[in-house]
Amino acid sequence: MKNKYLFLIISFISCVTSVKAVELCGVAKQGEILIGKIDPNQKAIFNNKEIISSNDGLFLLAFGRDEINSQNLQVVSGNLSGEETYKFAVALTEWDIQNIKGVPPRKVTPSDSDLAAIEKERKIVRASLKEIKNNPYWKSGFIRPVDGRISGQFGGQRIMNGVPKNPHQGMDIAAKEGTPVKAASDGEVVLAYPDLFYSGNTIVVDHGHGLQTIYAHLKDMNVKRGDTVKQGDVIGTVGKTGRATGPHLHWGASLRNVRFNPQSLLDMNNKQQNCFTL
């Protein structure tokens, strides 16, 4: 009898204080996105910010090009009685150097009035990347938005007409002008903006949980802000608007305003086979 009470007390204590193990799927490396799994009754806090998870406990983490090595993931049980902090390392990636010649000089060294326009546009794009939608559209997986040769990888340090510029924030896919561009996954169009200084005609599709894909330098745009799209829907065509030396799609990916390698989205289906427990 005494033992039975002791057992009940111990199970009660462990029930209110324990946090169940967290699983991360993918490779913890600069430029990558990972799928995390927690008990649906728990909350995940990543680098001191609470992050959204789906009804079945799935959430996303992404690491930028220059993400620092050590990361902090806190898991809190629903009734706040249990909390666990996990530290894990993010492996470094070696990024390429990309030499690009023949860029119109104004697009490499913008004038003062161009700089003012760029700043205004940046605010418009950033605002669309800050939206967080609850619907986990991203769970339907990702496809390549256009077939073609990859002419520029994510993360490359760019030297344009001999001038060092910011690292490349997406994947460039070269294709003929007018080639259809497809939505990489289900989502909602949060930006369809014409003629931005660098990215030209630009579409941003929101896939929920703060994950967006960006489609730049488009010739035509077939969607508008507020439209819902399905994976594979044609949202526009390949062009060379903005800062482009030839027709290509610049395909970008952003999670809660952190740019990462869109290639990592294409690997999403395989990530479930590559999980580790913290």
Residues that bind Zn ion (CB under 5 A): 170, 172, 250
255 vs 261: CA distance, rounded Å = 11
CB of 266 to Zn ion, least distance (A): 17
Shorter beta-carbon distance to Zn ion: residue 121 or 172: 172
Residue nearest to Zn ion (CB): 250
CB of 14 to Zn ion, least distance (A): 52
CB of 18 to Zn ion, least distance (A): 46
CB of 142 to Zn ion, least distance (A): 18
CB of 193 to Zn ion, least distance (A): 17
CB of 247 to Zn ion, least distance (A): 12
Shorter beta-carbon distance to Zn ion: residue 90 or 171: 171
Shorter beta-carbon distance to Zn ion: residue 136 or 152: 152
Q: Which residue has the tokens 């629903």?
A: 78
